A and B are shown apart, each in its own frame.
Chain A
Amino acid sequence: IAGITQAPTSQILAAGRRMTLRCTQDMRHNAMYWYRQDLGLGLRLIHYSNTAGTTGKGEVPDGYSVSRANTDDFPLTLASAVPSQTSVYFCASSPGQGLGYTFGSGTRLTVV
């Protein structure tokens, strides 16, 4: 089934640990995005990638990094997790401007 796969589904992480959230799409979409969703704050863009080999910062990039080595994969790394990074993280992709996003099912991350 075409779509986006995110892993893990959920994770409890000790503060200070490094963590990579995985995102893979099989739709050959050029653009990919990482959002975090927090109660009362909606979805906020962390990082994005317009095409393989390029990335950009979103609204809340601090503490996160991404890479886009190929079209399909867009991992999000927390170098040293802090409790404020407790959130639900969604990966999304888009084939082009104005065409809408396809979202993954999310990763629920708790930093303790």
Chain B
Amino acid sequence: AQSVTQLGSHVSVSEGALVLLRCNYSSSVPPYLFWYVQYPNQGLQLLLKYTSAATLVKGINGFEAEFKKSETSFHLTKPSAHMSDAAEYFCAVGGGSYDKVIFGPGTSLSVIP
């Protein structure tokens, strides 16, 4: 069975500050891990994915995430927050039955000017 937890349903950062969104997963098989972003009234958009290659994954819009197997974590970071980063972020795990992905509950990111 697979599951995902995201610490903090809401995170606020100042513009220009570091963004850190936490994700921990549980998986009985080597996982595929994803981060998605959802802007208001839109569908989800893939930010980045880990598929057993490099443990540090770079995505779009300056985001990156590091896979740490020992900590079962896949935290999302961005060095400097921008106002346009305000959105809902979902961590997800796959790798079980054919590409069925389990989503975390989401973290809402607010960026304060």
Residue ranges of A at the interface with B (Cβ–Cβ < 8 Å): 4, 31, 33, 35, 40-43, 45, 48, 50, 58, 90, 92, 94, 96-106
The chain B residues found within 8 Å of chain A, CB to CB, are 32, 34, 36, 41-46, 49, 51, 90, 94-95, 98-106
A33–B44 alpha-carbon span in the complex (Å): 13
Instruction: Name the CB-closest residue of A to B46.
Output: A100
In the complex, the chain B residue whose C-beta lies closest to that of A41 is: B105
Cβ contact within 8 Å between A43 and B90: yes
Q: Which chain B residues border A101 with CB–CB below 8 Å? A: 34, 36, 44, 46, 101
**Residues on B with beta carbons closer than 8 Å to the beta carbon of A45:** 100, 102
Instruction: Contact check, A98 vs B100: say whether CB atoms are below 8 A apart.
Output: no
Is the Cβ of B43 less than 8 Å from the Cβ of A97? no
Apart from A98-B51, A103-B44, list 5 A-B contacts with CB within 8 A. Answer: A97-B94, A97-B99, A101-B34, A103-B36, A106-B41
Residues of A with C-beta under 8 A to B101? 101
User: Are B43 and A105 touching (Cβ within 8 A)?
Assistant: yes
